[in-house]
Amino acid sequence: MRRLGAAAIDFIISYELSMIVYGMIISGWKMFRIISGREWEKCSYLMVFILVFVVYILTNFIYSVFFDSLFQGLTLGKKITGCRIYVGEKQKNQNWIIKHALLRTAASILYVLTALYYIKLYKMPYDRICSMDEKQDLQNEEK
């Protein structure tokens, strides 16, 4: 269950980062509108929702690629929970990193379904596709 906790922590971190980026985009857009002398027009709720969704997807993807590339997949959530995932030589392959980041992002968007899948099968939905192997100390898992 440590891996599910790590995924939850990574979800929260990605969400918070995306909200910071979203706020910067909206603030910059508003400043541009004020400086250019245009009135602040009301945005449609659909546009705001789409922007939040797109920013979250991009932020989560960049977060995944960053940790897969530089820290061999050891994200902040895995570091905090003490979860270790070994992927071997595949980690150095750029195609694998992109595929893993895309699948992690999709799993993050559908976090509730991902959590239910993990609780039932004790693996993430994308483990088989990415050929990942989870090595955990069973004694620590029982505690």
pLDDT of 7 over the 90 cut: no
Domain ranges of the chain: 2-38+45-135
Mean pLDDT of the chain: 79
pTM for the model stands at 0.75
Q: How far apart, in whole angstroms, are the C-alpha atoms of residue 4 and residue 138?
A: 15
pLDDT digits (tens, 9 = 90+) for 37-48: 766 566 666 777
